[in-house]
Chains A and B, each alone.
Chain A
Amino acid sequence: MAIQEVRVAVRSSLPDAKGRQTLAEIQRSLHISTVQAVRTAKVFRFEGITVAEAGYLARTLLCEDIFQVYTVNEPIITDTNWLVEVAYRPGVMNPEAGSLIKSARDLGLSHVVAADSSWEYAFYGPEITPDDIDTILRRLLVNATVQHVVREKPETLIITGRSAPTLSIPITGMTDEELMELSKDKLFLNLEEMRLIQDHFRAIGREPTDCEVEILAQTWSEHCVHKTFKAHLTVDGREKRPLLKRLQEATNSINHPLVLSAFVDNSGVLAFYDGWAVCGKVETHNSPSAIEPYGGAATGSGGVFRDVMGTGQGAKVIASTDMFCFAPPDTPLEEIPQGCMHPNYLLRQVVAGVRDYGNRMGIPTNNGSVHFHRDFRAKPTVIVGSYGLLPADRCEKGKPEPGDLVVVIGGRTGRDGIHGATFSSAAMTDRTMDVNAQAVQIGHPIEEKRMSDALLAARDEGLIRAVTDCGAGGFASAVGEMGASTGAVLALDKAPLKYSGLAPWEILLSESQERMVAAVRPSDIDRFREICREHNVEATVLGTFTGDGRFRATYEGAEVMNLSMAFLHGGLPQRRMQAARPSRNPQPELMPDPPADWVKAYKDVMAHLNVCSKEPIVRVYDHGVQGTNALPPLGGVDGSGPNDACVLTPILGKPYGLVIAHGLNPILNRIDPYWGSIWAAAEAVANAVAAGANIDELALIDNFIWPVPDEEMLWALDRAVDACTDFARSLGCPFISGKDSLSSTYRGAGGLTIRIPPVLCVSAFGRIPDVKNTVSADFKKAGSQVLLVGQRDITEMAGSVYWENLGLAGTALPKVDLASFTGTCRALYRAINSGKVLACHDISEGGLAAAIAEMCIGGRCGVAVSVPPDQRPDYFLFNETAGCFIVELAPETAPGDLFGDVPWRVIGSTTADRRVSVSLGEQRFAVLVDELKEAWQRPMKEVFGA
């Protein structure tokens, strides 16, 4: 069938914002100066309509002649030789296609059969070379994983294919070499695991199907089964309980009265108020984001939202968080390992992915951070969190009953995302980009939004027995887990497909986004379907939960899988793993000279990537949607002062607050994984407490993003878990959800190995009875007392930004004293609750100096600080011990009444002159707050051009 093309461009007399943005990125990020202008045009293609009908669509739908022009089946930009069209590859779902077809049908063209859209870029400049264009395409406009350059008009937009038959895999007779060849690049299982599969099929006397081998590899992948966290450990010759057990035992021993669900469902659940509960889940999407950062981050958000949606009988998503680690954006190109992407591109694309998914879903993204270290060039860390609200009486994980229907809702199944679970469990190599391209897709947040709307409507009518998200492993994982104790049978040919040609195993394993599986009673199915239809959501009965304990699947009547759930879930024996403390040469303690130029040292700390303002990122997230923000990420007089946590009022009109915060410090983890992890947990809790939270009403979520656990890295992981359990028991804050991702090692050609600094991200969330009793970080007025509250040893400078700027490493890192920290948190909570605290900010990267600067930036004021004579002034200013706070009190408030025997000290007062003035005994220095602000805002402005 003929394809009609409509091209639409902004009138040449008007600014083309997309063209300008592209030009700015070419100049700023690629440093190509030959391109002087860029124009863009949108290309729409339709199959099944006439030329005249294409003209009608152009006038009524595609082009607004107030500011645009169009052509039909003709070029629209004709005044340059440098014209390139960039489109999604055939088979990659373009979310816009569905809207084009819908709207064409609304306009009476019901015979349209397919549609697509893409962009043309026109480059202008007499000096442009083919190399320039090649670089722009490769590094900016075309991610070859999902996009391509269109060189000629496609013949059809319809994707078809013949479905491959189910194959029998002759595994029983394979040699070890043949087993590993089967596993490589596809199954990612080791020889021992491959042999277990071989033994199983030898024992039952038949060869497995491809469906069976694939589902075993997926279910047994590190990503899904957490082999390391469940392994039996020997650490330096001493036997230790599995990591996951230890975390769960700590939670059980705390026996927290607010915890309604921990570690069993898709997220952890806490009691809220008035019969409501709140839940939280934090996930990683490192591997997909490393090769397709926009789609990887977007679908990471989409996945963690579905985890919350699939908690209990369904929850409403009310917040999104994002924590990233990258190499510095100015890392020289030649230092980027083969097969990896440049961090400048990764950072911008990951932010764009989180932005588009959260904004379009209408979920406020209002807590997050970005951390930088050179070794994240091996693989970025992309952490996305999500929080939800649900009725407390529907918050328990549902259990399907035999006879319940397996219903898939949401998007259709395609070839995208196949092998995501197994791929995520593997280390990055120089082959990763090529071999695993199909593991990534772009997201469709509108599909997920309408699914969420339908799901909540069905929940409120009590139609959902159990629900879970189709994440890694697709139907195989979702139905396999839901039906683990019952059994299930699926008719794979019933699954709605994006296009024909999927083999049965691909349908089973596909990780196409925006799909969920619900267990619905047969008597409820009609109403369930009706609700879905009203919300434009497809709902399909795929099978039944049985009582036979087997996982079976058919395709067009023939059986393609028949495994016992017991072997699938219990066939993998507990791993035994060894961990050993690495030997390290003792290093002499360092004693640098104090800075000669205090102002420069201060500004350098403010401009450090791990301290600098992340405002250009926060601004592109809709942090106000849902109208729930009572403490937003940014505040203060001109809206540029950062707050420590966010506080939401998820039930509009009620004063109840949900506080969300987090902490991580990969640099400290490299020095000492125990104290680095204590720091991360203390930072998470301190951020919440600084806003007014009570540690008795907080719960924690762990995320371990680690290099591949060899003996040394496993030792570090063991230490980090010990830190988590010590911290939880000491404060009484339980971990109620968590995730590990243990594949962040890069192995390149020629033996190049890069390990990321180990990341433990701790998220804290909890409830606050009245948001009126919370504080922000901006100083409120001149003449206030400024206090330092909390215990620290300022000689513990290792890992600090100040030392890093001096080129120093060291080993003496901050060691948070948990007993003292607990007392500080309690005292601060009482003080804030009494209404006497005007502002509070916790100390983290950049130390006390960065904290007071940020408070001045928010308050548009200054501060005069005196360094006590007995303390080394640069360490006093730049020490980064977590769990210490800067507190603003009115001059008439007596600090001793509030803080008693908790360590506190008045260090100065706020001023009207908008300077930070520091007296260092005999010496003193002063710097304009605006100068500090400029240094602090510059790095991300340079990356994002804001």
Chain B
Amino acid sequence: MKPRACVLRTDGTNCDQETAFALELSGARADYLHVNELRSGRKRLLDYQIMVIPGGFSYGDDVLSGKILAVELTSLLREQLQEFVDKGRLLLGICNGFQVLVRTGLLPYSRIGSITTTLMPNDSGRFECRWVSLKVEKSPCVFTESLAGRTVTYQVAHGEGKFFTSQDVLDDLERRGLVVFRYVDAEGRPTQAYPANPNGSLHAVAGICDPSGRIMGLMPHPERFVLPTQHPNWRRGPAAAEGLPIFQDAVNHARQM
């Protein structure tokens, strides 16, 4: 049977369709799930093995990016979320979804309501869309089992993506190997230099996971590179769809649940 995945939607969600497509392409059965359907009780999170909070501008990114949705989830859907995580289900936040996950406290320590890291406005002060190179670190993350150690190219498209936290938390994340993606330069080395590091993230962090490896968030968009022709330079040589393994690994993992 196909694992069931849901793509969370609300006002201003906008990467939902390509995310659902990536999940389906990887062998999942993907549903759209509006946050109102969870609030009204008409649908249940636990019916799904995978939840993705996709990119977009939830509630216009008012106050801070992802903040209004994070407050809604932690105030009104806390028990469902906690149960989903406690049962070892998979949770992925992409771009705006990553912003939501850090603002719920689910990343990096899986503690709802405890915010320990943040995504600040880009150092450049503006929204930017460009392709970047990323090193996939060895980590407990289940979404990157097959990509770990490789360098991949994804698109970023955000204005608030600078990963920032205290020195203690940063040291702890590094020690426990919870950094999953880093922005790298043409030689494959982590970099603070713009534009290879598009936002000024500390330690060039582009994505992190929780200690279980079952919750991951990242600013770049793997769902925008699940077909070879989505790469801007596919005509310059054969390109593998480097975003697809993220979703395939998730689906494979969910099959064993």
Contact = CB atoms under 8 A, between A and B. Distances in A.
Given A360-B57, A623-B129, A60 B226 contact: no
B97 interface: no
Contacts of A535: 11, 34, 36
Contacts of A66: 115-118, 164-166
A106 B125 contact: no
A10 B164 CA distance: 12
A362 B15 contact: yes
Contact of B235 (A18, A623, A776): A776
Contact of A103 (B57, B71, B200): B71
A61 B131 contact: no
B60 A627 contact: no
Contact of B67 (A61, A355, A534, A775): A61
B15 A625 contact: yes
A62 B63 contact: yes
Contacts of B48: none
B89 interface: no
Given A99-B62, A536-B11, A620-B129, A649 B229 contact: yes
Interface string A618-654: 1111111111111010111101000000000100110
A449 interface: yes
A62 B71 CA distance: 11
B14 A625 contact: yes
Given A107-B71, A446-B60, A534-B36, A17 B12 contact: no
Contact of B60 (A24, A60, A360, A634): A360
A361 interface: yes
A106 B127 CA distance: 29
Nearest to B25: A653
A453 B14 CA distance: 10
Nearest to A65: B115
A362 B14 contact: yes
Nearest to A657: B229
Contacts of A107: 71, 75
Nearest to A444: B60
A871 B143 CA distance: 61
Contacts of B76: 106
B157 to A, nearest CB: 4
A64 B115 contact: yes
A328 B90 CA distance: 53
Contacts of A61: 63, 67, 71
A301 B236 CA distance: 34
Contact of A624 (B103, B157, B233, B235): B157
Nearest to B55: A625
A70 to B, nearest CB: 12
A805 to B, nearest CB: 31
Contacts of B164: 14, 66-67
A637 B236 contact: yes
B128 A624 contact: no
Interface in B104-148: 115-118, 120-131
B56 interface: yes
B232 A634 contact: yes
A776 B237 CA distance: 13
A102 interface: yes
A582 interface: no
B129 A652 contact: no
Contacts of A629: 230, 232
Contacts of B36: 534-536
A15 B200 CA distance: 11
Interface in B60-92: 60-64, 67-68, 71-72, 75-76
A535 B155 CA distance: 29
Given A619-B129, A649-B229, A17 B157 contact: no
Given A103-B68, A622-B127, A627 B75 contact: no
A450 B12 CA distance: 7
A502 B135 CA distance: 58
Nearest to A651: B21
B60 A95 contact: yes
Contacts of A446: 11-12, 57, 59-60
A775 B63 contact: no
Interface string B15-56: 101100100010000000010110000000000000000011
Contact of A627 (B62, B121, B130, B223): B223
A780 B236 contact: yes
A378 interface: no
Contacts of A652: 17-18, 21, 227
Nearest to B125: A21
A108 B68 CA distance: 14
Contact of B12 (A14, A360, A627): A360
A787 interface: no
A830 B75 CA distance: 60
Nearest to A536: B11
B63 A103 contact: yes
Q: Which of B62, B67, B116, B124 has the most CB of A within 10 A?
A: B62
A445 interface: yes
A653 B21 contact: yes
B21 A627 contact: yes
B221 interface: yes
Nearest to B229: A630
A20 interface: yes
B224 interface: yes
A776 B21 CA distance: 26
B71 A106 contact: yes
A376 B32 CA distance: 47
A444 B59 CA distance: 10
Contacts of B232: 629, 632, 634-635, 639
Given A66-B164, A362-B56, A103 B72 contact: yes
Q: Which of A14, A359, A618, A639 has the most CB of B within 10 A?
A: A359
A100 B103 CA distance: 16
A619 B127 CA distance: 8
B55 to A, nearest CB: 7
A76 B228 CA distance: 51
Contacts of A618: 129
A772 B129 contact: no
A742 interface: no
Given A66-B164, A630-B230, A653-B227, A625 B60 contact: no
A383 interface: no
Contacts of B63: 61-62, 96, 99-100, 103
A534 B40 CA distance: 10
A639 B157 CA distance: 15
Contacts of B103: 64
Q: Which of A618, A620, A627, A630 has the most CB of B within 10 A?
A: A627
A619 B123 contact: no
A479 interface: no
Nearest to A781: B236
Contacts of A634: 232
A780 B18 CA distance: 30
Given A96-B60, A639-B131, A652-B17, A17 B124 contact: yes
24 contacts: A14-B120, A17-B121, A17-B122, A17-B125, A66-B117, A66-B166, A99-B63, A100-B62, A103-B59, A106-B75, A446-B12, A446-B59, A536-B11, A621-B129, A624-B129, A625-B157, A626-B15, A629-B230, A630-B230, A635-B233, A639-B131, A652-B18, A778-B233, A946-B124
Interface of A: 10, 14-15, 17-18, 20-21, 24, 60-62, 64, 66-67, 95-96, 99-100, 102-103, 106-108, 355, 359-362, 444-446, 449-450, 453, 534-536, 618-630, 632, 634-637, 639, 649, 652-653, 771-772, 775-776, 778, 780, 946
Q: Which A-B residue pairs are the 10 nearest by beta carbons?
A: A362-B14, A21-B125, A627-B18, A99-B62, A17-B121, A17-B125, A446-B12, A635-B232, A446-B60, A96-B62
Given A66-B117, A625-B55, 17 more contacts: A61-B67, A106-B76, A359-B127, A619-B128, A622-B157, A624-B157, A625-B157, A625-B224, A627-B18, A627-B224, A629-B230, A637-B236, A649-B229, A652-B227, A653-B25, A771-B229, A780-B235
